[in-house]
Amino acid sequence: MQKVLILDFGGQYNQLIARRVRELNVYCEVHPHDMPLEEIRRFDPIGLIFTGGPGSVYLPDAPKVDPGVFALGVPILGICYGCQLMAQMLGGRVTAAQDDSAREYGKTPTVFDESCALFTGIGGESVTWMSHGDYMAAIPTGFVLAAHSAACPTAAICDAARGFYGVQFHPEVDHTERGRDMLRNFLYGICRAAGDWTMADYKTQAIEAIRAKVGNGRALLALSGGVDSSVAAALMSEAIGEGLVCVFVDHGLMRKNEGDEVEAVFSKRALNFRRVNAEDRFLSRLAGIEEPEKKRKIIGEEFVRVFEEVAHEVGAVDFLVQGTIYPDVIESGKGEAAVIKSHHNVGGLPDCVDFREIIEPLRMLFKDEVRQLGRELGLPEALISRQPFPGPGLAIRVIGEITKEKLDLLREADAIFREEMARAGLDRTANQYFAALTNMRSVGVMGDGRSYDYAVALRSVQTGDFMTADFSRLPWELLDRVSVRIVNEVRGVNRVLYDVTSKPPATVEYE
């Protein structure tokens, strides 16, 4: 399988680059910018992409790559910071913009030279998404200018002989009108990609790898009933059959009636299904904890401890299987990358785990790819299209300290919101929606008397990959109906808010 290597310099759109490459049926991975040269050689990429980043390449502590990457004979595409880095390291000169007019942020009309292979078939002019305060004052020997805007004469550069290309804008974002076509040109026209990344192939390779690893051993899978763990269960079941034990931990942080619903669905399948009721132990460990990262780490550790206990009861279980997916890994931090939030099944894991090894068969897949794999495995569409629900459950939708009273309050409010979304026919069009309990209490008037109760926040987003998301434009009539019901039916709530923040700068979940 051909592979593209994306070297990460810390930009906000970096994981979106990976999604765009995968969408074009080329496998890729994101690794830290300081990945050793020998590891890059072993990875054997057909092309490299340098991402954007917040730094300035001319500063002493600016992140760089091993200079040896330019001698690998592999095509390179530099994006924003990555473009400037390539220019600076190969003999060009990058400086800070001398005045505001030279800085560019947002949608920018850009003119292209279609003789450059990166812009073949693009058309002479279209809109790109710029986000830079530095610019290339001089380009390296061997490069030519390939695009410009009103404020930036060096919007793109290319050295066709060596296969080096750089763009000052971001082709990976939707605001760049022909960005996907540019990436396609780089992958297929310049890197000569075969387009051999498919879910059918991934399924076959993953099953073979699981069988080779587990052999005649046994594996315990953490089954939440969500899309990721369900697909992981189907994949593991196909690979090792009766060697799989699926454990559903009801940690008391589920939505209304969800524990019983999960048991009803999976206890009928040949998955050696076990349900562990562990509400008291989880809530006891979480008592008095308000800091989000601590919550996640406590939940991650307690999950593993429960699995260890079940493994000892079952006997001879060597492997722990998790439905970890690529956004979990990325957001939990990798190398020098920023930690957005520690996912309970990644950064929340304890240092000591009483299993020989952890298997994560979906670790390199994005959410939509997981759904594709589920279809390849023959799972029902109702399960594949199910609303995402995080492993830590309502713990990350209750802001501040967690109590059973708060959880019960949130369960009722969330159930009302989900019921009304379904009644309005919007449960399939919104990619994720839920209620969260804020830590804010405010004065209200209920029954001619003063109340001092909680505010519930409603959240609904549209997204294709969960790396970026936009808030749903829900009808006012629906929000009005949900608000009236929650305030009237859920004791302890006197205010309902609707979250209109996209990701970034927010995340989909609250903690």
**pLDDT (0 to 100) of residue 104:** 62
Q: Which of 28, 83, 104, 172 is catalytic?
A: 172
In a domain, 510, yes or no: no
Question: Which string of DSSP letters, residue by residue, matches 446-464?
Answer: ETTEEEEEEEEEEEEEE-S
Closest CA to 26 of 166, 174, 185, 188: 188
Helix axis angle, 476-489 to 404-423, nearest 10° = 140
Q: Which of 190, 211, 241 is the last residue in one of the domains?
A: 190
What does residue 193 show for φ and ψ, rounded to 5 degrees? -65, 150
Residues 170 and 207 in one domain: no
Q: Are strands 244-250 and 3-8 parallel, antiparallel or unpaired?
A: unpaired
Q: How many CA atoms lie within 13 A of 384 on its CB side?
A: 15
Q: Structurally, how many domains does the chain consist of?
A: 3
Q: Which of 355, 384, 413 is the last residue in one of the domains?
A: 384
In a domain, 27, yes or no: yes
**pLDDT (0 to 100) of residue 352:** 54
Residues facing 105 on adjacent strands: 131
Residues 268 and 374 in one domain: yes
Residues 79 and 14 in one domain: yes
Residues 169 and 314 in one domain: no
Q: Which of 33, 170, 251, 343 is catalytic?
A: 170
In a domain, 423, yes or no: yes
CATH number of the domain enclosing 137: 3.40.50.880
Concerning whether 191 is annotated as a catalytic residue, the answer is no
Residues 337 and 442 in one domain: no
CATH number of the domain enclosing 289: 3.40.50.620
The two tokens of residue 443 are 């004065």
Q: Are strands 357-359 and 319-321 parallel, antiparallel or unpaired?
A: parallel
Residues facing 333 on adjacent strands: none
Q: Which of 28, 80, 152, 158 is catalytic?
A: 80
Residues 456 and 359 in one domain: no
Closest CA to 230 of 415, 382, 429: 382
What does residue 239 show for φ and ψ, rounded to 5 degrees? -80, -45
Residues 25 and 128 in one domain: yes
**How far apart (Å, rounded) are the C-alpha atoms in residues 249 and 277?**
6
**How far apart (Å, rounded) are the C-alpha atoms in residues 84 and 150?**
19
Residues 9 and 147 in one domain: yes
pLDDT values of the chain reduced to their tens digit, one per residue, 511 residues = 899 999 999 887 788 899 899 999 999 999 999 999 999 999 999 999 999 988 889 998 899 999 999 999 999 999 999 999 999 999 999 887 765 555 566 688 999 999 999 999 998 899 998 876 687 889 999 999 999 988 788 899 999 999 999 999 999 988 899 999 999 999 999 999 999 988 888 899 899 999 999 998 899 998 888 889 989 999 999 999 989 999 999 999 999 998 888 888 787 777 788 999 999 999 999 999 999 989 999 998 998 899 889 888 888 888 989 888 887 776 665 544 444 444 444 444 455 566 888 899 999 898 889 999 999 998 888 778 777 788 889 999 999 999 999 999 999 999 999 999 999 999 888 989 999 999 999 998 877 678 899 999 999 999 876 777 899 999 999 999 999 999 999 999 999 999 999 888 888 999 8
Q: What residue type is 40 in one-letter code?
A: I
Q: What angle do CA 173, 178, 183 make, to 5 degrees?
A: 75
Q: Which residues contact 222 (CB under 8 A, 6 or more apart)?
A: 229, 247, 249, 303, 307, 320, 321, 322, 323, 345, 391
CB 245, CB 344: distance < 8 Å? no
Q: What residue type is 339 in one-letter code?
A: V
**3-class SS at 438?**
strand
Domain span at residue 9 reads 3-190
In a domain, 389, yes or no: no
In a domain, 67, yes or no: yes
In a domain, 53, yes or no: yes
**How far apart (Å, rounded) are the C-alpha atoms in residues 128 and 106?**
8
**pLDDT (0 to 100) of residue 131:** 73
**How far apart (Å, rounded) are the C-alpha atoms in residues 502 and 302?**
32
Residues 364 and 487 in one domain: no
The two tokens of residue 501 are 């923040």
Concerning whether 170 is annotated as a catalytic residue, the answer is yes
The two tokens of residue 399 are 């802001």
C-alpha pair distances (Å), 199 with each of 26, 51, 235, 367, 376: 11, 26, 12, 13, 7
CATH number of the domain enclosing 472: 3.30.300.10
In a domain, 511, yes or no: no
Concerning whether 152 is annotated as a catalytic residue, the answer is no
In a domain, 345, yes or no: yes
The distance in angstroms from the start CA to the end CA of the chain is 37
The two tokens of residue 349 are 């894991």
CB 399, CB 437: distance < 8 Å? yes
**How far apart (Å, rounded) are the C-alpha atoms in residues 505 and 511?**
14
**In angstroms, what is the C-alpha Rg of the chain?**
25
Residues 160 and 222 in one domain: no
What does residue 102 show for φ and ψ, rounded to 5 degrees? -85, -10
Residues 345 and 278 in one domain: yes
Q: Which of 326, 350, 384 is the last residue in one of the domains?
A: 384
**pLDDT (0 to 100) of residue 311:** 86
- pTM beyond 0.75: the answer is no
CB 167, CB 159: distance < 8 Å? no
Residues 256 and 338 in one domain: yes
